Structures are given as C-alpha cells and as structure tokens.
Amino acid sequence: MIGLFGTAEDFLDAIYQYPGGWIADRFGRRNAFLIFLILAFAGYVVYLFGPTWPFAFLGLALVMAWQSMASPAMFAIIGDALPRARRAMGFTLQSILKRVPIVIAPIAGGVLIAALGIVKGIHVALVITLALALVTMLLVSRINVTIKTLQATGILGVWQTFHTALKRLLVSDVIIRTCEGMPA
C-alpha cells in the first residue's frame, strides 16, 4: 500500500499540472490558489478524520491540489511579476524556498511522533498543518499581481509555439525523470 500511495502521488502530480494551469488562466492566479488551498485543506481534514486507511488515498487526491495544481500558477506569477532578465533567478528562488519546508517538516513530524506517539503525534501535526493552511489562505488572499491576458489555447497549441530546442529539453526531462523513478 505504501508503494501504491507513492505511485498515486506521482501520478496525481503529473496529471494535475494541466488543470492547474487551466484554472489559473481561467479564474486568475489568486482565485486558483484559493481553490487549490481549499482542496488541500479538505484533504488534510480527510487525513485527520478518515476512519480507515483507504481514506488516505482520498486525502491524497485533495492534498495534491496544492502541491501539483498550484505549480503552474506559481510559475505564471513569477513570469508575470518579474522582467525577463530576472525570471530564471525568480524560479530558482521559488524552487529553493519550496524545498525548505520539505526538509523541516519531516523532522518536526518525527519530533511530534517521538514525543506524543504515532497516532497523537500525527493528529497534532495535522492540526498544525490545518492552522498553517488557514494562515496561507490569508496571505494568498492578499496577492495582487497584474497578469497579461493572452488568447486562450489548448495544450497542443502551447506545444506548437515552443521552440524546437525547448521541445527537446522537455522530452529529455521526461526521459531522465523516468530513469530517476525506475530504481525507486
């Protein structure tokens, strides 16, 4: 089940990217973030109150809304807010800052589990997570970045506008990520 959970997480991470970008373009960055946060919040509630382990998969489907769907909106905001010459550094900074909680959270969760036991430690961690999600909703509600309006297009239309070198880069990224996942 642990392997299936990890596979489901990777699968959702992949398929949620497109609807995330579509929602961000259709409803605006701030509204998209709020939608994704509400879905993730609901997922954490499912984790907290789910009566049996299969509910963890329902929680995962909801929680992944923030982790995966929000990425295109985050990149779009960086692209909208920064001049072309600063975007690479903006993406770099976002990538670094995104990983700080990924390093800290397991340590904090482990401390809670060691101090309170598995069930109570996880419950306390989830309550803290819900509180932080509420704080995030308050912060996100203050986002106000002007976006450039472009003509709507589908995924194939976007692919066709890519330079050949970018297409090769994306295909090579898919191949290396496939290789990366095989031994895991």
What is the model's pLDDT at position 148? 62
- Closest to 58 in 3D by CA, of 12, 102, 21: 12
| Residue 177 confidence class, pLDDT cut points 50, 70, 90 | confident
What's the per-residue H, E or C state across 57-76?
Answer: HHHHHHHHHHHHHHHHHHHH
pLDDT: is 30 or 178 the higher one? 30
Average model confidence (pLDDT) for the chain?
A: 88
What is the biggest distance separating any 2 CA atoms in the chain, rounded to whole angstroms?
A: 55
Please give the distance of CA 97 from its chain centroid, rounded to a whole number: 13
What is the model's pLDDT at position 151? 64
- From CA 72, how far away is CA 39, in angstroms rounded? 16
Out of 26-35, 117-126, 152-161, pick the least confident: 152-161
In this model, does residue 9 exceed pLDDT 90? Answer: yes
Please give the distance of CA 182 from its chain centroid, rounded to a whole number: 22
Helix-helix angle 29-49:55-64, to 10 degrees: 160
Q: Which residues contact 136 (CB under 8 A, 6 or more apart)?
A: 37
In this model, does residue 173 exceed pLDDT 80? Answer: no
In this model, does residue 111 exceed pLDDT 80? Answer: yes
Q: What distances in angstroms separate CA 182 from CA 28, 178, 179, one per listed residue? A: 37, 6, 5
DSSP 103: H
